[in-house]
Structure 1
Amino acid sequence: MRDGRATVGRIWFGRAVLVLACLATVLAGVRSGTVTVQRSADAVPGTVRIMPLGASSTVGKGSPRTAGYRGPLQELLARDGLSVDLVGSRRDGPASVPDRDHEGRSGTTLAQMLPRVAEWVVRARPDVVLLHSGTNDLQKGASAAEAARRLEDVLETIVSVSDAHVVVAGVWAPLPGDGRDREEFERLSALVVAGFRERGHQMRFVDATGLLTPQDIADGLHPNAAGYRRIAGMWEREILGVLDPRP
C-alpha cells in the first residue's frame, strides 16, 4: 500500500511540475516581451470575449463555409442581443463570417495543447472559453483515464492564468471504434469539471452524447453544416447560462 501511495504521489508531483513549467515559460515570455498581452483598451465595453479552443472541429472541418460552429454561433448570439468578440491567434473561414478568430488547431491533442495553452489564454484575455478537445487523444491511443488527466492539466493551466468562465464540451464525434473510451471519457470529464467547481472555479461541463445524429456527420468524424448548427445551439445555451446563471 505504501508503494502505491508513493507511485501516485510521484505521478501528481510530475504533473504539477509540468504545469508549473508551462506557466514559467509564459511568464518569462511576458517579461521579455516575446508574449504580448492585449491591453484593456483593445476591449469594447459590454462586449463578451469568447475563445473557441480545440482542434479541427473548432477550425470548422466538415463545413468550412460556416467556419464550423463559429458562424452559426455568432448569428445566434447576435439574435440574443449580445455583443461578442471571438478571440484567438488563428483566423479561418469565409468573408461571410463576421469574426473568424479562434484557437483551434487540426489534429491537436490535449497533451499537445498543454505546453501552449497558457500563452494562448494570456494573449486572448477571454471572458468565456469554449473548450472541445479529447477526440484526438482517444483516436491516437490514449485511454479515457489518461485523456481525462490531460484535460485536468489543461484546465489547471487555464485557471492559473485566467478567471474566465470555461465551458467544457464532451466528445461529440461518434467514434464507433472507441465507444467505450468515449463514454468513459465523458464520465470522467464531468467529474474533473465538478472538482474545479468545488474549488470555486467558474466552469461548466456539457454532455455532448447524443447531440449529433448520423445525418449530422460529414465524414464519419466531423460535423456537417447541420451538425455545427446543433453545436452552435449548445454553446449558445451554455454562454447564456454563464452570463445569466439564474436557475
Structure 2
Amino acid sequence: MKRTGVIAALAALVLAMPATAAAMPEREQAAAKPKPFVNVMPLGDSLTWGYQIKNGKAVVIDGYRKDLWVRLRKVGMNVNFVGSCPRPKWDKWKCNGKGTMGDNNHEGHSGYRIDQLSANVPAWVNKYKPQIVLLMAGTNDIAQRYDLKNAPARMSKLIDKIRAARPTAHIFVATIPQYRDPANKARVKAYNDGVVKVVRSKGKLVHLVPQHIVGTERKDFSDHVHPSDCGYAKLSFVWYNTLERDLAPNKWPTGYWPWSNTGVCG
C-alpha cells in the first residue's frame, strides 16, 4: 500500500506527551525528573502473542510488541507493557514463551475468541491497571465461525467491561487484518464494519485503529492468517501512528515506514 493510502486510512478515523529528552537542552535534561511509567496492555489473541511460521516452523517471538515498544520509548513515553503473559508453560491460557524483549508482558492468548477474553478481562484489568489498552480480537471468531452476526456486539460488551474496570483508560480498538484466504474476506469486512460502528458509539476515550489495511500483500503473511515479520511491522506502525494522532498529534516522527519495501518488508 502506498504511503498516501495508509495516511488516508489512518486519518479517516487526550493525553499530551512531553517532549523527548533528545529535544531538550542539556541543562534541562539534567534537571528533568524521571517520567512516570505508562502502563500499556496489549490484549487479544495469537496476533498479540506473536505467533508466526518461520522457515516452516511455528514460533512465537514478539509480534508487533517489540517494535512498538521501541518506537514509543524513542518518543519519550516511558511505556511499561503489562499483563499475565507470558506464562511458564502451555496451559489453558495459551500464552507461554519468553520473547526477545525485556518488557514482554501482554494478554495475547492463542485461539481465544472475544467471549473468552471478555470472561477474564475484568480480573486482568483490575490487577494490572493499564492506562492504555491495545485491543485486537475477532480473528478466532471468524476462524471458528462462532456466531459471527453477534461478534461486534460481543466486542462492544468487552469494551464496556474494560471501561467499567478502568474508566480513565484510553482503549485503542483495532479492526482485524485481512485473511490470506479469499473465502473469508467478506466475513472479515462485515466484522470490521461492525467494529467501526461499535467504537464510534463509545466516547472519546475509545479509539479506532485501522489494522484492516494490513494483509493486502502476500508478504504480510506467514500462513493463511498470521503475520510475517513484515506484517507485524505494519501492525506496529498502525498502532503507533494511531496513538500519535489521538494522544500527541503531529509530535512524533514517522520512523520506519514498512510500506517502503525496505527492512523486514524489503
TM band (smaller chain): 0.7 to 0.9
Q: For residue 220 of structure 1, what is the aligned residue in structure 2?
A: 224
Q: For residue 56 of structure 1, what is the aligned residue in structure 2?
A: 46
Q: Give the superposition deviation at 1:228.
A: 0.6
Question: What CA distance in whole angstroms lies between the structure 1 residues aligned with 2:122 and 2:159?
Answer: 10
Going from structure 1 to structure 2, the CA distance change for 1:230 and 1:106 (only over 3 Å counts) comes to same
Matches within 5 A, 1:26-65: 45-62=35-52, 64=59
Q: Answer yes or no: is the 8 Å Cα contact 1:135–1:173 preserved in 2.
A: no
Going from structure 1 to structure 2, the CA distance change for 1:94 and 1:118 (only over 3 Å counts) comes to closer
Q: Give the superposition deviation at 1:113.
A: 1.4
Q: Deviations over 1:95-149 (max 9, x none)?
A: 6312100011100000111111111111110110000100101111134431101
Give the counterpart of 1:74 among 59, 62, 69: 69
Q: For residue 181 of structure 1, what is the aligned residue in structure 2?
A: 187
Q: For residue 109 of structure 1, what is the aligned residue in structure 2?
A: 113
Q: Give the superposition deviation at 1:93.
A: 5.5
Matches within 5 A, 1:135-214: 135-162=139-166, 163-174=168-179, 175-197=181-203, 201-212=204-215, 213-214=217-218
Q: Give the superposition deviation at 1:206.
A: 1.7
Amino acid at match of 2:36: G
Size of the aligned set, in residue pairs, is 201
Q: How does the TM-score come out when normalised to structure 1? A: 0.75
Q: Deviations over 1:172-202 (max 9, x none)?
A: 14152222121111111011011112xxx50
SS at 1:142 equivalent:
coil
Q: How does the TM-score come out when normalised to structure 2? A: 0.70
Q: Give the superposition deviation at 1:81.
A: 2.4
Question: What CA distance in whole angstroms lies between the structure 1 residues aligned with 2:97 and 2:68?
Answer: 13
Q: Could you tell me the percent identity over the aligned residues? A: 28
Q: Give the superposition deviation at 1:238.
A: 2.0
Q: Answer yes or no: is the 8 Å Cα contact 1:93–1:100 preserved in 2.
A: no
Unaligned ranges ≥5, structure 1 = 1-43
Q: For residue 129 of structure 2, what is the aligned residue in structure 1?
A: 125
Amino acid at match of 2:207: R
Q: For residue 22 of structure 2, what is the aligned residue in structure 1?
A: none
Q: Give the superposition deviation at 1:45.
A: 4.9
Unaligned ranges ≥5, structure 2 = 1-33, 54-58, 87-95, 252-266
Question: What CA distance in whole angstroms lies between the structure 2 residues aligned with 1:104 and 1:217?
Answer: 18
Task: Indicate the structure with greater helix content.
Answer: 1
SS at 2:36 equivalent:
coil
